[in-house]
Structure 1
Amino acid sequence: MNMSLKKYRQTEQVKLSLGKPFFESQGIAIYQGDSLELGSQLPHSLFDALITDPPYCSGAAGTSVGADPAKKYCHSGNTLGRPSFGGDFRDQRSFKYWCSLWIGQALRACRDTAYSLVFTDWRQLATMIDALQAGGFCFKGLISWDKGRGSRAPHKGFFRHQCEYIPWGTKGAVPRLMDRGPFDGCYQIPVLQKDKHHMTGKPTPLMQKLVQCVPAGGISLDPFCGSGTTLVASALEGRQAIGFEASEEYCEIAARRIEAAQRGELLKFERTTAA
């Protein structure tokens, strides 16, 4: 099948199920709304991968629904102008149940042998591995992301929490690839403030590496796309992607970043408050 026709058919299938997206351009689309509501409407057996960075809810037990994540993720609560976000309040049991729901929806929407890559931290690592399997993916291993020695530690007695993790799995057997792979199991990529548009945003170069598990011209799903880094990386790497995001403000940020990426540019984050 002609690649452009394949891309058109895949994105049209999503539009038939979900309606008009918030943003759409060249095989990349953003839908504004709740991930569970949107995920329940996805067509079956379409996506080549689930690649996402959900709220970690790490250390969230006892916090209120309305608690501002800025107090947890930003030094002295200073977001430098980055919008806040919701969904980071669940305790560990409800977090596992919630994750198994949207992972199960993604499983139905994925093709056989599709990949699942979901970010988490050290506190929620075992929980996310459980949720990945409860949702129906076969757990195959662990990818580490080393953020570097700039990661904070409470005091000198601590080992730095400088790694985050990506449990990965597949829908059924791991595909035997001829055109790409094997993929690295550890990435050492620093966080650059000019590339960080969300207070928990991941580096674009990291996401560019991860989306390469998707075949050229293939399509991935990101149910928590935030500032759109998975979608930006997909545009840069010649892949398609569908993202869900509850915040209209982040949908707008993601759309601007995708448009820039499709011009071959990386939109830089600009601080709006003093550090």
Structure 2
Amino acid sequence: MEKLLNKILLGDCMELLKQLPDNSIDAVITDPPYCSGGRNAGARVKLPSDKYGLSSNKTVHRPDFAGDTMDQRAWLRWCVLWINECHRVLKDSGYFLMFSDWRQLPTATDAVQMGELIWRGIIAWDKGGGSRAPHKGYFKHQCEYIVWGTKGACKKAIHAGPYPGCFKYPVKQSDKFHLTGKPTPLMEELVQIVPENSVILDPFVGSGTTCAAAKKHNRNFIGFEKTKTYYDIALARIKD
């Protein structure tokens, strides 16, 4: 376990999770592929940059990533597999936080419970008024969500809390290192749900924002990333 602390590993999380011992992680905080872009099979298999990239930001190139072509049933099955492994490695009362958009939110809450975790609620991330809407008749897709739960009881915290149920952080291009990257200040808030020197695992580390936030706030981290380009970006961010 010690040799994995404060490192990011390149590979598939389903294989890398097997290297972690039981009951060794204080919190899992992660942003898996949503597999939510596209209403039909043809649209779903498009590149993530075509599904999620804003037309106004096409001049900003960010690499695509793997694992975003599943339909909802396949995505649910896949989530249950890796969440089961997260349940195994979490300590008793450990936290599990998983990002989702509105399209996959119902399925994400099912996956957390099917992975034997206790679903505790939903945290809203307000991205700001600049978010998209198809036309004037729509409510803006202004929020994404964090499905959270625990392995067993949710114990009273001594170091902090209670924690906000909604965070408002805009996406800034200068702070976006991944095609679907989350704001660094948001991740800095989330890593503080556990005390200093705790171990935070991110099985889908992307550009390394969870790990950068953990490092800044004196939490240990372990990150896994499957896409080599983003793995390299994450390593560079942690080094800096």
Same topology, TM > 0.5: yes
For the residues of structure 2 that align with 1:64 and 1:157, how far apart are their CA atoms?
A: 24
The 1:175–1:31 alpha-carbon spacing in structure 2 relative to 1, beyond 3 Å, is same
In structure 2, what is the equivalent of residue 90 of structure 1? 70
Q: Provide Cα deviations, 1:176-212, integer angstroms capped at 9, x if missing partner.
A: 1111111100001111100000010000000000011
Cα shift at 1:65: 7.8
In structure 2, what is the equivalent of residue 173 of structure 1? 153
Q: Which of 111, 118, 122 lines up with 2:91 in the alignment? A: 111
Does 1:101 pair with 2:81? yes
Contact 1:228–1:258 (CA<8 Å) still a contact in 2? Answer: yes
Contact 1:120–1:165 (CA<8 Å) still a contact in 2? Answer: yes
Contact 1:65–1:87 (CA<8 Å) still a contact in 2? Answer: no
The 1:193–1:135 alpha-carbon spacing in structure 2 relative to 1, beyond 3 Å, is same
Q: Provide Cα deviations, 1:155-187, integer angstroms capped at 9, x if missing partner.
A: 111100010000100000001111111110000
Cα shift at 1:64: 7.3
How many residue pairs are counted as aligned between the two chains? 238
SS of 2:191 mapped into structure 1: helix
TM-score when normalising by structure 1: 0.83
RMSD between aligned residues: 1.5
TM-score when normalising by structure 2: 0.95
Q: Which of 20, 23, 26 lines up with 1:48 in the alignment? A: 26
Cα shift at 1:81: 2.2
For the residues of structure 1 that align with 2:59 and 2:150, how far apart are their CA atoms?
A: 36
Q: Which of 70, 78, 81 lines up with 2:49 in the alignment? A: 70
For the residues of structure 2 that align with 1:65 and 1:125, how far apart are their CA atoms?
A: 17
In structure 1, what is the equivalent of residue 172 of structure 2? 192
Aligned-partner residue type, residue 2 of structure 2: T
Cα shift at 1:79: 6.4
231-240 vs 58-67, which moves further: 58-67
SS of 2:200 mapped into structure 1: strand
Which one scores higher on RCO, CA 8 angstroms, separation ≥ 6? 2
Q: Provide Cα deviations, 1:111-145, integer angstroms capped at 9, x if missing partner.
A: 00000000000010010000001111100011000
For the residues of structure 2 that align with 1:122 and 1:130, how far apart are their CA atoms?
A: 14
In structure 2, what is the equivalent of residue 23 of structure 1? none
Does 1:39 pair with 2:17? yes
In structure 2, what is the equivalent of residue 225 of structure 1? 205
For the residues of structure 1 that align with 2:154 and 2:239, how far apart are their CA atoms?
A: 33
For the residues of structure 2 that align with 1:59 and 1:124, how far apart are their CA atoms?
A: 10
SS of 1:111 mapped into structure 2: strand
167-176 vs 63-72, which moves further: 63-72
Cα shift at 1:237: 0.9
SS of 2:100 mapped into structure 1: coil
In structure 2, what is the equivalent of residue 29 of structure 1? 7
Higher gyration radius (CA): 1
SS of 1:40 mapped into structure 2: helix
Aligned residues with identical type, % of pairs: 51
In structure 2, what is the equivalent of residue 7 of structure 1? none
SS of 1:258 mapped into structure 2: helix
For the residues of structure 1 that align with 2:12 and 2:189, how far apart are their CA atoms?
A: 27
Structure 1 portions without partners, runs of 5+: 1-9, 16-26, 261-275
SS of 1:126 mapped into structure 2: helix
Aligned-partner residue type, residue 40 of structure 1: K
In structure 2, what is the equivalent of residue 271 of structure 1? none
Structure 2 portions without partners, runs of 5+: none
For the residues of structure 2 that align with 1:79 and 1:85, how far apart are their CA atoms?
A: 18
